[in-house]
Amino acid sequence: MVSGMPIYEFRCRACGSRFEELVPVDGRADRCPECGAEAPERVFSPHAPAFHVARTPHAMRKQERKNAKLRDWTKARFKEARGRGREPRARASGASGSAGGDG
Ligand SMILES: [Zn+2]
């Protein structure tokens, strides 16, 4: 049974340093012990990787458009390849004049 205040992990938005602080359940650490910046960010999953993927709706739409373009391009290529395959073969003319020993 935990008595008193639980410990939470925080990360400073200014310097990025992580620290733990005893705060009330709904509380916040007031400042970073490293640089003194206010309102550090609470870290909910301590085991999460340090980097985090910033996926904005704009970026996602951009990616979607890129994918569509690529799909169209692939389709076009495929069509072209098929069309080329159907092309009639140029017949090799077997009329190679064999020169007689006339001369
Ligand atoms: Zn800091």
| CA–CA gap between residue 74 and residue 83 (Å, rounded) | 14
4-30: pLDDT as tens digits? 667 888 999 999 999 988 877 666 788
E-strand ranges in 25-99 read 41-43
From the CA of 57, how far away is ligand 1's center (Å)?
A: 29
Predicted local distance difference test score (pLDDT) of residue 16: 94
Note if the pTM is more than 0.85.
no
From the CA of 8, how far away is ligand 1's center (Å)?
A: 16
Predicted local distance difference test score (pLDDT) of residue 26: 66
CB 7 within 8 A of CB 22: yes
Report the pLDDT averaged over residues 84-102: 62
Q: Which sequence spans correspond to the domains of the chain? A: 7-43
| CA–CA gap between residue 38 and residue 21 (Å, rounded) | 14
From the CA of 51, how far away is ligand 1's center (Å)?
A: 17
CB 58 within 8 A of CB 46: no
From the CA of 36, how far away is ligand 1's center (Å)?
A: 6
| CA–CA gap between residue 40 and residue 32 (Å, rounded) | 6
14-71: pLDDT as tens digits? 999 999 888 776 667 888 999 999 989 988 764 545 445 557 788 888 888 888 888 9
